[in-house]
Structure 1
Amino acid sequence: MEKSLLGLLREGGFILYARHGEATVGTDQPYFNFQYCYTQRNLSALGRREAIYYGQMLRYLQIPISPPIVASPFCRTIETAQLAFPNVNVQIEPFWYDIFKLGGNLSTFEQHEILTNLRSVLEIKPSQGTNKMIIAHSFPTGVGLGQISNLGTVIVKPRGQGKGYEIVKQLSLADLADLGSSEIK
C-alpha cells in the first residue's frame, strides 16, 4: 500500500517552504530597513494566530523539523517563524529577500539568476529523518513555487545537488489541518 503524504512527511527528507502569516499592518516603504519593522508590512493579529496554529499543527502531526528554521530577513517572516517554533533557533538568510524581489520589475537575467539559486537551495536534502523548514514569501504566478496563500506550504522533495527537485504538493493552512483527520489511525 502506498504511504500517505503524512506518513512520508513523518519519515523526513522534504523541504517545507511556507509563506508567512497574514501581513496587513503597515506597508513596505520604498526604502524599508530590515532593522526597523515599522518600515515594513507586518503580521496582523490573525497572522500571529495563524503562525502559532501552524507550529502547533506540525507538532500535533508529528512532522519532524530540523533546526534551524530558515527565514527571510523581513520582520513578518521572522515573527512567523518565532511564533510557530518558539523553542527553535531561527536563522535569517538574506537570499530569501530575492524571492520577494521576484514580484518587482527585474530583468530576465536577474530573475533567471534568482531562480537558479533557488534551485540549488531546494536540491539540498535535509538531515536523515527530518524535514527542513523555510518561511519566506509567495512567488509571482507561474514563477518558482508559484502563488502561496498565507501560511500555505509547498512540500519539496530535493533530489540532491545538481539533480533538481520535485514539488510534491502545495497545501493551504486548512489542507495541513486536514492531513491529520484524513490519516487512518
Structure 2
Amino acid sequence: MSQHDYNTGDFFLSERSLPQLLSQGGYTLYSRHAEATIGVDQPNLDFTNCQTQRNLSENGRNQAHTYGETLRRLNIPIMTPVVASPFCRTRETAAIAFGEGSVYVDPFWVDVYNLSFNVTPAQQQTILHRVQSILETQPQPGTNGVIIAHSFPANIGLGPIPDMGTVVIRPRGQGNGYEVVAHVEIEEMANWGV
C-alpha cells in the first residue's frame, strides 16, 4: 500500500491517521457520485426520470457500497441525513452507501453541476459563495457531514474530483471558511484499516 501524506495546514497527516481523525467527527466529506456510464444527460433532463440522465454502472454501485461499508467498518460517525444532489446517480450513490431513508436531496447541488457549462461570472460567484457557506458550517458535534454531488471544473471551487473521490474538509464555522484536509480516491479509502 502506498503511503500518502495530507497537508492539513497545521500538520501532516498520514493515510493511516486520517480515519482516526475522522472517527472524532468535525469534518465534511464532499464526494463526487460513483461511476456513471449508463445513458446520457438529455436536454430535457427530468430528475424524476432516470432515463433522461447518466446513471450508475455496476462498478459505480460497487464503489458506493465500498464507500459506505468502509465508513461503517471504521466506525466513522456520519451525521444523517446525508445530502445528495437531485440527479439519479447522486441519490443512488448516497442510498447505496447510507440507506434510502438516510438521504436528503438538496436541489442547490445542481448549481455546482452547472458550473461546468455556461454560467456568467456573477452566477459562478453566487454559486461559489453558497458552496463556501455550506462547507464552512460545522456538523453536529462528534459526527461528520457527507455531501454526495458533483465534480467542479478545473481551478474552480474544489476542482476536479474522480468518480467516488472524496475531499475531506475541516469547516471553521460560519463566516470563517474551511480547510481542505485531503483528497482521497475510493481505492485508497477501501484500504483504510486493512
Do the structures match in fold with TM over 0.5? yes
| Residues 1:79 and 2:92 are matched in the alignment | yes
Sequence identity of aligned pairs in percent? 51
Residue of structure 1 equivalent to 2:28: 15
Instruction: Write the letter of the residue equivalent to 1:30.
Output: P
Residue of structure 1 equivalent to 2:143: 130
After TM superposition, which residue ranges in structure 1, 4 or more long, deviate above 6 angstroms?
Answer: none
Q: What is the deviation of 1:87?
A: 6.2
| Residues 1:59 and 2:72 are matched in the alignment | yes
Matches within 5 A, 1:116-127: 116-127=129-140
Residue of structure 2 equivalent to 1:45: 58
* Separation in 2, partners of 1:61, 1:88: 22
Change (3 A) 1:88 1:16: farther
Q: TM-score w.r.t. structure 2 length?
A: 0.90
Q: What is the deviation of 1:178?
A: 3.0
Matches within 5 A, 1:83-162: 83-86=96-99, 88-162=101-175
Residue of structure 1 equivalent to 2:7: none
Instruction: Write the letter of the residue equivalent to 1:73.
Output: P
Q: What is the deviation of 1:179?
A: 2.8
* Separation in 2, partners of 1:59, 1:142: 33
Instruction: Write the letter of the residue equivalent to 2:54.
Output: R
Residue of structure 2 equivalent to 1:30: 43
- Bigger Cα displacement from structure 2, 172-181 vs 88-97: 172-181
Gaps of 5+ in 1: none
Instruction: Write the letter of the residue equivalent to 2:20.
Output: G
* Separation in 2, partners of 1:9, 1:156: 10
Instruction: Write the letter of the residue equivalent to 2:168.
Output: I
Specify the SS of the correspondent of 1:151: coil
Residue of structure 2 equivalent to 1:172: 185
* Separation in 2, partners of 1:88, 1:7: 27
Instruction: Write the letter of the residue equivalent to 2:93.
Output: T
Deviation readout 1:54-73 (Å, 9 max, x if unpaired): 11111112111010010000
Q: What is the deviation of 1:174?
A: 1.2
Instruction: Write the letter of the residue equivalent to 1:70.
Output: V
Deviation readout 1:19-46 (Å, 9 max, x if unpaired): 1110000000012011111000000111
Q: TM-score w.r.t. structure 1 length?
A: 0.94
